[in-house]
Amino acid sequence: MKIAVAQTKPVAGDIDSNIKNHLSLTTLAADHGADIIIFPELSLTGYVPSLAKKLATDINDSRLAVFQQLSDARQISIGVGLPTITAKGIHITMVILQPGKPRQANSKMYLHADEEPFFVSGDNLPGLIIKNTPVALAICYEISVREHSENAHHSGAQLYVASVAKTVKGVEKAWTGLGEIAANFGMMVLMSNSVGLCEDGLCGGKSAAWDEGGTLLGRLDDSSEGILILDTVTRVVEIKMI
């Protein structure tokens, strides 16, 4: 299996512009054999919680149809981030689109205190299987909650993929934590982060992959857009910049 994580520089609040960028990166990943690509937290809107109420939609938003078309045509699963609204309130969500399957929502269960004025806790998506490989998804602050990675391990996940919006300062702490998750639970771990401005400052990039022992296999830089592709069999990492 080949899994890609994207590193994007979103235009805050401009979903249409960000969709075009996502389609380009997804096509690049598919051209290099990726079976799935995961984007950063709130990738389609940028990490701007103060705009969430204005931008919130649902997983059936017609603007996402282009991702389903690409997923079906290239046989690649796609995870994109945006705020979604339900009867409970507004969630930080990753929408999962898979070839020939209905859309699914993985919503952030564990919120940072700074997010609570804007969002409510949601439900994690259980049992995502890609190419017969169990995959657990995490959204940013969830990587800091030990129960989250423990549950992923107990569920049999072989891959733990974190979609984040970490600042330059936050990236270093995230790297340490994700390396420890890999080593403690014997899971390959990947991180997809943004670059450029977000509501908390400047996102620090450095999207990366670790093996089951916590050894860093490869990373992107702290300012460029691109993708990292991990072959889970050979452990070979490819870096493709745009």
Mean pLDDT of 180-209: 97
pLDDT grade for 185, boundaries at 50, 70 and 90? very high
pLDDT value of residue 127 = 82
What b/e sequence results for 130-146 when a residue is b if at least 16 CB atoms lie within 10 Å of its CB, and e otherwise?
beebbbbbbbbbbbeee
DSSP string, the chain: -EEEEEE--PPTT-HHHHHHHHHHHHHHHHHTT-SEEEPPTTTTT-S-GGGHHHH-B-TT-GGGHHHHHHHHHHT-EEEEEEEEEETTEEEEEEEEE-TTS--EEEE-SS--GGGTTT-----PPP-EEETTEEEEEEEGGGGG-HHHHHHHHHTT-SEEEEE---BHHHHHHHHHHHHHHHHHHT-EEEEE--EEEETTEEEE---EEE-TTS-EEEE--SS--EEEEEETTT--EEEEE-
What are the structural domain ranges in the chain? 2-241
pLDDT tens digits for 11-43?
999 999 999 999 999 999 999 999 999 999 999
The answer on pLDDT for 177 being more than 90 is yes
Where do we find the tokens 């997804």? 26
Phi, psi of 205 (to 5 degrees): 55, -135
Tokens of 153: 């391990």
Query: What pTM value is reported for the model?
Result: 0.98
pLDDT grade for 200, boundaries at 50, 70 and 90? confident
Bridge partners, 86 (sequence order): 89
Which amino acid, one-letter code, is at 68?
Q
Tokens of 167: 């600042």
Could you tell me the maximum CA-CA distance found in the chain, to the nearest angstrom? 44
pLDDT tens digits for 82-137?
999 999 999 999 999 999 999 999 999 999 999 999 999 999 999 899 999 999 99
Tokens of 97: 């689109």
pLDDT grade for 184, boundaries at 50, 70 and 90? very high
Contact call for residues 67 and 22 (beta carbons, < 8 A):
yes
CA–CA separation, 111 and 114 (whole Å): 8
pLDDT tens digits for 131-172?
999 999 999 999 999 999 999 999 999 999 999 999 999 999
CATH class of 2-241: alpha beta
Mean pLDDT of 8-12: 98
